[in-house]
């Protein structure tokens, strides 16, 4: 009788652990995930080695907005990830002239760029029209960032996007929401 009780307790504990692990895996896969920043292309908003959380629901529902910060995979190597800011949305036309950013021929007020003028417009010297699932992204440290202006990054397809940044976990002095940054 005692052995049956032990087996039932073990089975119950095993089931509880399995449910917890399944829940964690589901959350990580479909809801949120921690990511470590590598490099200074998002300075001053983010710094090298910052630990951030990304949420995946917004990106899976294609509800990104201009100036959202995203994490996405390199188009040629899914093991390499980038953190950048969305500037151009699907269907829009982006161009960089005289260091200023224009979307659909309207200059955008860029509160996030670290430097006032973009020195190298790259492929955005000429107007770039985005496809139905494409985004144009820039690093906040504009003149020291590999981003949509250059072929190694290029336009970011919806399928490359892992999530939208929403919270900084570390360093603890900067702990908090990234919603308005």
Q: Which residues are catalytic?
A: 41, 84
Give φ, ψ of 34 to 5 degrees. -80, 145
**How crowded is the C-beta side of 152, counted as CA atoms within 13 Å?**
6
* Encoded tokens for 134: 């494409």
CA 50, CA 41: separation in Å to the nearest integer? 12
What's CA 157's distance to the chain center, in Å? 12
Contacts 24+ apart (CB under 8 A), 56-65: 56/30, 56/31, 56/32, 56/162, 56/163, 56/164, 57/30, 57/31, 58/163, 58/164, 59/158, 59/161, 59/162, 59/163, 59/164, 60/30, 62/133, 62/158, 64/89, 64/135, 64/161, 64/164, 65/89
Pairing type for strands 100-103 and 93-97 reads antiparallel
CA 133, CA 150: separation in Å to the nearest integer? 18
């Amino acid at each position: 009788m005692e052995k049956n009780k032990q087996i039932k307790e073990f089975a119950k504990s095993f089931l509880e652990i399995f449910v917890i692990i399944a829940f964690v895996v589901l959350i990580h896969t479909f809801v949120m995930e921690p990511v470590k920043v590598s490099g200074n292309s998002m300075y001053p908003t983010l710094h090298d080695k910052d630990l951030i959380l990304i949420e995946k629901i917004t990106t899976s529902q294609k509800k990104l907005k201009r100036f959202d910060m995203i994490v996405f995979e390199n188009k040629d190597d899914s093991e390499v990830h980038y953190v950048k800011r969305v500037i151009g949305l699907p269907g829009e036309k982006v161009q960089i002239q005289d260091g200023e950013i224009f979307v659909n021929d309207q200059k955008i007020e860029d509160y996030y760029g670290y430097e006032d003028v973009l020195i190298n417009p790259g492929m955005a010297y000429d107007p770039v029209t985005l496809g139905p699932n494409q985004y144009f992204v820039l690093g906040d440290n504009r003149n020291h960032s590999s981003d949509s202006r250059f072929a190694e990054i290029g336009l970011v397809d919806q399928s490359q996007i892992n999530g939208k940044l929403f919270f900084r976990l570390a360093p603890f002095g900067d702990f908090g929401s990234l919603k308005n940054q």
